[in-house]
């Protein structure tokens, strides 16, 4: 079994009828959404509402025939459980997220949830975040040159405006902002880095997620088994 599918199936046991479910973005989260859709259509789970963390996820919810279950944050009183993926996760449950540019909406929903479950395959595990991936930072377009200069001057490393080969110009998020990918030259402690970078004027959100906000991590292995840590 594909490790992403194994992790997605394992996450389903934490979803019950009547829940408001925050549905993450990215390939692993969308595998979970497909499994959730099958459970709903099969009558195993009922009376749920789905809050998406990106327009991509909204589209997939509708494509799967679940459009009547889609809700926006102002239509619900809270999120019972959020299930999302990650670009990197360490043993402290700290995350790097935002490779797909949805970090702000992901963090809003994931941090709001009563239970935040992260599903990944083994390739996403690292000793300490940030590691292999840059830290995504969503910025107001007007401010991106100043944010880039501030990061590089005061904290070192390189901060690059994200471009995509499939469009001209910078990547634009669902919130009509830009994304800077930051590779610090020195080790950044995740919770401190989240606080410091978020405090730079012009920064909307940073793709460092504090492990204290994560309820559990479900890891899918190549042999189809899973394990969890809390």
List, by residue number, the catalytic residues: 106
d(CA 129, CA 127): 7
CA distances (Å), origin 97, targets 4, 11, 107, 137, 230: 16, 19, 9, 10, 18
As a whole number of angstroms, the longest Cα–Cα distance in the chain is 56
Task: Give me the sheet containing 135-139, strands edge to edge.
Answer: 158-161, 178-183, 135-139, 203-206
Structure tokens at 212: 């204290």
Residues 6+ apart with CB under 8 A from 123: none
């Amino acid at each position: 079994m594909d490790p992403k599918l194994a992790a997605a199936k394992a996450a389903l046991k934490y979803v019950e009828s009547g829940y408001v479910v925050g549905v993450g973005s990215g390939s692993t989260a969308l595998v979970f959404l497909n499994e959730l859709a099958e459970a709903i259509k099969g009558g195993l789970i009922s009376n749920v509402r789905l809050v998406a963390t990106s327009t991509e996820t909204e589209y997939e919810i509708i494509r799967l025939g679940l459009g009547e279950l889609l809700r926006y944050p102002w239509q619900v009183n809270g999120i019972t459980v959020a299930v999302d993926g990650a670009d990197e996760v360490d043993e402290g449950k700290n995350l790097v997220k935002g490779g797909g540019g949805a970090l702000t909406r992901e963090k809003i929903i994931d941090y709001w949830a009563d239970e935040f479950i992260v599903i990944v395959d083994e390739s996403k595990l690292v000793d300490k975040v940030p590691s292999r991936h840059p830290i995504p930072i969503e910025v107001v377009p007007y401010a991106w040159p100043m944010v880039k200069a501030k990061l590089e001057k005061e904290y070192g490393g390189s901060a690059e405006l994200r471009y995509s080969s499939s469009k001209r110009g910078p990547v634009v998020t669902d919130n009509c902002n830009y994304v800077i990918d930051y590779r610090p030259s020195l080790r950044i402690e995740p919770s401190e880095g989240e606080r410091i970078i978020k405090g730079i004027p012009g920064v909307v959100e940073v793709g460092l997620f504090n492990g204290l906000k994560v309820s559990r991590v479900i890891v899918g292995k190549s042999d189809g088994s899973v394990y969890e840590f809390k």
